[in-house]
Structure 1
Amino acid sequence: MAHRGRVVESTGSWYEIAYEKNDHTATIKCRLPGRFRLEDHHLTNPIAVGDVVQFEINEDQSGSIEVIEDRENYLIRKSTHHQEGNQILVANIDRAYVVQSLKKPRIKPGFLDRFLVTCEAYQVPVHIILNKLDLANESDQGTIDKFRNLYSSLGYKVLLTSIKNEAALEKLKQDLKDNTSVFIGPSGVGKTSLMNYIEPSINRKVGAISSYNEKGKHTTTFAKLLPLHFGGYLVDTPGIREFGLVNIEPWELSLFFPEMLEYRQQCKFNNCTHSHEPGCGVMQAFEEGYIHPDRYDSYLNILDSLENK
């Protein structure tokens, strides 16, 4: 008899599945047959937290996954540490939150913009969290305002948070209510502290920040789907230091920069990369001040990585 459930934890070799059993939610550990890995040889993980699967229960009460159902959406990145293939971080989510911190570590625009591009490309609604506002002093207000104004003007909701600002954290909880959400960001930006406030039962250990390079230590090893007591789920993921784009061609990149969509229609060439071509509507818009210099620089940096991959 086939059962249907959702992947709530992945350790690489075993998958924990939540499913309905006799009118209550139960969990079972399942393995994935090798044929799935052969079919999805371009992926380091053919199944991810958030996936909906069908499985059979074995005599030893473990499970065997038989079907991975089609995904509504997913977040994917290039594998790191010289691994071949790509890695699906999470599947079937209502909203992603890209977390940055004002200080320790500082805002990483390159990481942020790459993540936003992936969300646009893979149809994942996304909000931005600027965390650790308790570390701000008077001279930082300009940086905060510039950050919020820039990304708000592009249509992204920007949440300003601090573990010491209860009102801001309660607003975040309301945003999360009844959704399946994921926090993505570099190590050290405060994801674990935010999660411990949102769902105290998580009780994750908070990692220290290196004073040498301002990089946080990973406190989460495997992805896990955590139920929230006020409704919804939050995906706990390891901290991410790199975010390589997947299946995006250089000429497509501007499709995922909202501020370029209108102006790219005025380009002379259909495959314009908006970096050097004559008759480029995007370059003209940039020169006339309609595209922010920081975002255009970020676009060019990402474009260079795609052209020289």
Structure 2
Amino acid sequence: MGKKKSNRKRKVRVALKKNRGKRARRGNLTQQARTDPERIEDIAAGERISGKGDTSRYRTVIAAETEEGGLQIDVDLSTCHAGRVLSAIGQMSRVQLDDGRKLECTVRQVVRSLARDQRNAVVTGDRVLVGDVDAETGVIERVEPRHGVLSRSSRHRAHVIVSNVDQLMVVVPADDLKPVLVDRFLVSAEQGEIAAVLCINKIDLLDPVELVGWTGLYARLGYEVVLTSAETGAGISRLRQLLADRETVFAGQSGVGKSSLLNSIQPGLRLLTGEISSSTGKGRHVTRRTELIELDGGGYVVDTPGIRQLALWDLIPEEIEGFFVEFRPFVALCHFPDCSHTHEEGCAVKRAVETELIHESRYASYLRIHAGEDLV
């Protein structure tokens, strides 16, 4: 049994300089309050500011360590309202409070500072605590621990696409199915402990018989596979069943029909849709932000911008094998306990590929991910 992390509160020194483009101002707080009152409002009771040198700026806050190893800021719960982030762009988030109100919220600077290894401190799907609430606005004081996370690597930082979901809908076009991208999404789902469904869309563009090989492959691995067409309505009723009472993120490349499918599932959403570029053959970005949408039939869906490449975040080579479900029976049979399944003699995984117990396309995806190749 793993060691349980302590949630005992402790003082934490938070460096704020990385969120400041300018040097720290000199002078006392009284003078600064007259010229910059917003800065004083950002200093909650029980916190203090100190500066050493021209560019350092630190805050001491009370925080507890979460089970994931992060820090959770101690806030006054009596002055905060719980809610969920519907969408987030930059430092602005649209939050729906538990009482139904929807607010435009900024993010407290100390919250952003504690998320320095992430591209965004607040993402769509987050459960948050909001303070300074009025009729239309608020300030996000804390992000609650996440589960069900879909993320990728972006410039050596974590880009969390969405949090607190329980299902990933991988949408791919029937006429341009890319197994290597599908496999990366499935690995990301396994890593985030999210159930995955493969949605092959635009089946009106070819004979579905041509897809039997791919549908059979992923179905045998235990993944739900659904064939759809927003144009003809094929598979839409089955898709509605899969989404009912679930929290599902739709993901895939631009132009695969994610927004069109959602418009078919729930007429009236009127999500913008786009066409494939005739010059590049790639989809144009129409969905500009990740958005959490409530379904009339129960459940939520998250519409996301198209992803042209998926570089996996926080994934070490030694653990990749565990995210390929068909590898698991063979790993223990390898001659070397630390076998990488790439070049070693006596590798049971390689032998399973040779005897077609593991599909060669899946093994090719494993090799690319293991080698750290980002492009798909």
Judge same fold: TM > 0.5, yes or no.
yes
Aligned to 1:272: 339
Shift of 1:201: 2.2
| SS of alignment partner, residue 101 of structure 2 | strand
Given the alignment of the two structures, is residue 78 of structure 1 paired with residue 153 of structure 2, yes or no? yes
Aligned to 1:16: 94
Shift of 1:58: 4.3
Given the alignment of the two structures, is residue 68 of structure 1 paired with residue 146 of structure 2, yes or no? no
| SS of alignment partner, residue 305 of structure 1 | coil
Give RMSD over aligned pairs.
1.8
Q: Which amino acid aligns with 2:114?
A: E
Aligned ranges 1:272-291 → 2 under 5 Å: 272-291=339-358
Compare 254-263 and 297-306 and name the one that shifted more: 297-306
Aligned ranges 1:178-193 → 2 under 5 Å: 178-193=245-260
| SS of alignment partner, residue 16 of structure 1 | strand
Given the alignment of the two structures, is residue 121 of structure 1 paired with residue 191 of structure 2, yes or no? yes
Given the alignment of the two structures, is residue 241 of structure 1 paired with residue 305 of structure 2, yes or no? no
Aligned ranges 1:24-103 → 2 under 5 Å: 25-58=100-133, 61-79=136-154, 83-103=155-175
Q: Which amino acid aligns with 2:88?
A: S
Q: Which amino acid aligns with 1:168?
A: G
Question: Which structure has the greater CA radius of gyration?
Answer: 2
The 8 Å contact of residues 249 and 306 in structure 1, kept in 2 or not, is answered as no
The 8 Å contact of residues 227 and 234 in structure 2, kept in 1 or not, is answered as no
Shift of 1:268: 2.3
Q: Which amino acid aligns with 2:246?
A: N
Aligned to 1:135: 205
Shift of 1:118: 0.8
Matched length: 297
> Which ranges of structure 1 fall in alignment gaps of 5 or more residues?
none
The 8 Å contact of residues 6 and 17 in structure 1, kept in 2 or not, is answered as yes
Given the alignment of the two structures, is residue 217 of structure 1 paired with residue 295 of structure 2, yes or no? no
| Amino-acid identity (%) | 36
Q: Which amino acid aligns with 1:37?
A: R
Q: Which amino acid aligns with 1:75?
A: L
Mapped partners of 1:110, 1:62: distance in 2: 43
Query: In the TM superposition, what whole-angstrom CA distance separates every residue of 1:123-154 from its partner, at most 9, and x where no partner exists?
Result: 011100000000014xx623x00010000011
Mapped partners of 2:306, 2:356: distance in 1: 35
Compare 158-167 and 40-49 and name the one that shifted more: 158-167
Shift of 1:12: 1.5
The 8 Å contact of residues 99 and 130 in structure 1, kept in 2 or not, is answered as yes
The 8 Å contact of residues 233 and 264 in structure 2, kept in 1 or not, is answered as no
Mapped partners of 1:46, 1:56: distance in 2: 17
Query: In the TM superposition, what whole-angstrom CA distance separates every residue of 1:285-307 from its partner, at most 9, and x where no partner exists?
Result: 11222111111111112212269
Mapped partners of 2:169, 2:258: distance in 1: 10
Mapped partners of 1:213, 1:273: distance in 2: 37
Aligned to 2:33: none
TM-score by length of 1: 0.91
Aligned to 2:34: none
Mapped partners of 2:135, 2:98: distance in 1: 19
Aligned to 2:241: 174
TM-score by length of 2: 0.76
Mapped partners of 2:337, 2:156: distance in 1: 32
